[in-house]
C-alpha cells in the first residue's frame, strides 16, 4: 500500500470493496475476490472503472 503514496489503505480498499460488492458495507475486498474468483472480480472492477469514467467528464 505504501507504493501508492501513503499508509491509508482505505483510500484504495473502500472503492475496491464497492466495485466488487456494489455495497458500502461488505466483507473485505480480499475475501470478496477469493469467494467470486479472479475472472468475475476483474470483470466487476472493469465495469466499475467504465462507469466511473463515464460519470466523470474529461478535462
H/E stretch holding 1? none
pTM exceeding the 0.75 threshold for the entire prediction: no
| Residue 2: inside a domain | no
What is the pLDDT, as a whole number, of residue 19? 94
| Residue 5: inside a domain | no
| Residue 30: inside a domain | yes
Residue with cell 455495497: 23
Nearest C-alpha neighbor of 17 from the set 36, 7, 5, 3:
36
What is the pLDDT, as a whole number, of residue 3? 54
Q: How far apart are CA 10 and CA 43, in angstroms?
A: 22
| Residue 42: inside a domain | yes
Half-sphere exposure of 22 (CA within 13 A, CB side): 4
Range of the domain at 34: 10-54
Q: How far apart are CA 59 and CA 39, in angstroms?
A: 32
pLDDT in tens, the chain (59 residues): 455 556 788 788 999 999 999 998 899 999 999 999 999 999 999 999 999 888 777 66
Tally of domains in the chain: 1
What is the pLDDT, as a whole number, of residue 4? 55
Amino acid at each position: 500500500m505504501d507504493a501508492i503514496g501513503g499508509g491509508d489503505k482505505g483510500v484504495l480498499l473502500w472503492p475496491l470493496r464497492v466495485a466488487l460488492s456494489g455495497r458500502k458495507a461488505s466483507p473485505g475486498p480480499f475475501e470478496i475476490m477469493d469467494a467470486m474468483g479472479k475472472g468475475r472480480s476483474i470483470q466487476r472492477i472493469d465495469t466499475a472503472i467504465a462507469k466511473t469514467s463515464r460519470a466523470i467528464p474529461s478535462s
